[in-house]
Amino acid sequence: MKAAWITTALLALHSLSAARDWTQPTLAERAAEAAGRSPWESAFWIGLGLAGTLAAMTLLGLSLVYAERKIAARFQCRLGPTRVGWRGTLQTLADTFKLISKADLVPRDADRLLFFTAPWLVVSGMLLALVNIPASPLLFVVDLNIGLLFISAVGALSVLGILLGGWASNNKWSLLGSMRAGAQIISYELSLTLSLLVIVLFTGSLSLGEIVQSQQEGWWLWRGHLPAMVAFLVFVIASTAELNRTPFDLAEGESELTAGFHTEYSGLRFALFYLAEFLNMFIAAGLAATLFLGGWMPLHIAGLQTFNRVMDFIPPLVWFGLKTGGLIFVFMWLRWTFPRLRIDQLLKLEWRFLLPLSMVNLLVAALVLLLGVYGKGGPA
């Protein structure tokens, strides 16, 4: 037990300094390793993983909502929240308390059991995906050997939650919103998965840890040539649609559907849907950063020794944060720039354009791999 504490402290220090040795056991591996020695130590690592994930979830949720409001305000020449806390930083915290203390309304004809379970399904799908995201060699809870597959599998839980939430509300707007969300998520899942497969093809692994390791030589976005770039673009577009964010936010098109599948939800349950939405954005951005932008690997440019040394001194967590944050900004930028599509335009975009494109792209990636041209050019 004492050893566990000391190692944690040392590891925390280690993560602040430049970690040259990238191979660190994940929390789950530490727990499994300790299971034979002492169950307490194993429980400690598992508890640390769980508590860390929950803390990260809360913190990210609060800061992402704040960031969205501030960025939206800037795009619209407003100031955004300014009153609560320094420059309004505590605004989301205050809003959370407001949401929790609100009256909890349940429609009379709702299917009560499903109405109550739906938000938790969405949140549990999100949490199961979140533990797989490698934030740094140390802040990495589970490294499944089927990591990517697992993330797309648990995504199904969120879709189910949305569908059931809309159906259980017994409200036409909710039902229409959830059907749209379901159709949209299932459609865009195809090109999303195909774009992930390009990287799986290059790496030869589904484990997120190994995918990050494979980018020590250079990010896949550069090293994978054209197919990786196309896959990156497809991934960003498809995940914007998966997240139900503008320009693909038909599921909650205010002008036609009030608020879509969560029209009838209030208080804490609404907060859960909202939280899951923002954290799914984080997961999508984190996944894109991990797959295409090298995860927590620092930026290296071949030949520039000094530059690379300096880059090494920036801790992995900061790298991951910068890349993910940048992508999150892109998501928000898209949201406040583009108008909403119509449902037929949205489905046409996927089935007539993105899907064929990503299929051809996967074939090209396979060709590139077979001909052995990858690994040259770009920052290495």
Partner 1 sequence: MENLVFILLSLLAVLGGLGTVSMRNPVHSVLCLLLTMLCLAGHYILLQAPFMAAVQIIVYAGAIIILFLFVIVLLNLRDDVLKRRTLPMGRLYYIPAGLAVMLVLTGLFRAGSNWISGGPAPEGTIEALGMELFTKWVYPFELTGVLLLAAMVGAVAMTRRDKEEG
Smallest separation, CB 346 to partner 1 (Å): 17
- Sites for partner 1 among residues 179-208 (CB under 8 A): 179, 182-183, 186, 189, 206
- Is residue 84 a contact residue for partner 1 (CB under 8 A)? no
Indicate whether 28 belongs to the interface with partner 1 (CB under 8 A).
no
Report the run of H or E that residue 190 belongs to, with start and end.
helix 172-203
Taking the complex as a whole, the smallest distance from the CB of residue 367 to partner 1 amounts, in Å, to 17
Find the part of the chain contacting partner 1 (CB under 8 A) among 40-48, 51-59, 160-168, 348-356: 160-168
Distances (CA, A) of 81 to 30, 74, 91: 42, 11, 7
For residue 18, give every residue at least 6 positions away whose Cβ sits within 8 Å of its Cβ, in sequence order, or none: 312, 313, 314, 315
Cβ proximity of 379 and 217 under 8 Å: no
Binding window for partner 1 (CB under 8 A); candidates: 154-162, 213-221, 303-311, 328-336? 154-162
Separation between Cα atoms, residue 380 and residue 378, nearest integer Å: 6
Closest alpha carbon to 215 in 225, 206, 223, 227: 223
Task: State the angle between helix axes of 267-292 and 172-203 in degrees (0 to 180), rounded to the nearest 10.
Answer: 20
Query: Which residues, 6 or more positions from 271, have their beta carbon under 8 angstroms from its beta carbon?
Result: 96, 99, 100
Cα distances (Å, whole numbers) of residue 155 to 130, 192, 230, 243, 251:
11, 12, 23, 11, 17
Least separation in angstroms between residue 327's CB and partner 1 is: 25
Residue 82, interface with partner 1 (CB under 8 A)? no
Cis peptide before 247 (omega within 30 of 0): yes
Q: Quick one: 65 or 197, whose CB is closer to partner 1? A: 197
Cβ–Cβ contacts within 10 Å for residue 23, how many? 7
Q: Per CB under 8 A, which of residues 106..135 are in contact with partner 1?
A: 111, 114
Min dist. Cβ of residue 168 to partner 1 (A)? 8
- Residue range at the interface with partner 1 (CB under 8 A); choices 62-70, 138-146, 260-268, 301-309: 138-146
Q: How far is the CB of 114 from partner 1 (least distance, A)?
A: 7
What is the enclosing helix (H) or strand (E) of 123? helix 112-130
Handedness of CA 167, 170, 174, 179 (dihedral sign): positive
CB of 176 to partner 1, least distance (A): 11
User: By C-beta, is 153 or 301 nearer to partner 1?
Assistant: 153
Residues 27 and 283: their CA atoms lie apart, in Å, by 19
Which residue in the set 150, 219, 248, 274 belongs to the binding site for partner 1 (CB under 8 A)?
A: 150
Q: Which residue has the tokens 């949209």?
A: 184
Interaction of residue 226 with partner 1, rule CB under 8 A: no
d(CA 348, CA 10): 53
Q: What string of DSSP letters covers 110-121? A: S-HHHHHHHHHH
38 touching partner 1, by CB under 8 A: no
Tell whether residue 167 is a contact of partner 1 (CB under 8 A): yes
Q: How many chain residues touch partner 1 (CB under 8 A)?
A: 25
Per CB under 8 A, 160 contacts partner 1: yes
Least gap, CB of 167 to partner 1 (angstroms):
5
Given the rule CB under 8 A, which of 146-154, 275-283, 312-320, 330-338 is the region that contacts partner 1?
Answer: 146-154
H or E element at residue 287: helix 267-292
330 binds partner 1 (CB under 8 A): no
Nearer to partner 1, 81 or 166 (CB): 166
User: Closest distance between partner 1 and the C-beta of residue 90, in Å?
Assistant: 39
Residues in touch with partner 1 (CB under 8 A): 111, 114, 144-146, 149-150, 152-157, 159-160, 163-164, 167, 175, 179, 182-183, 186, 189, 206
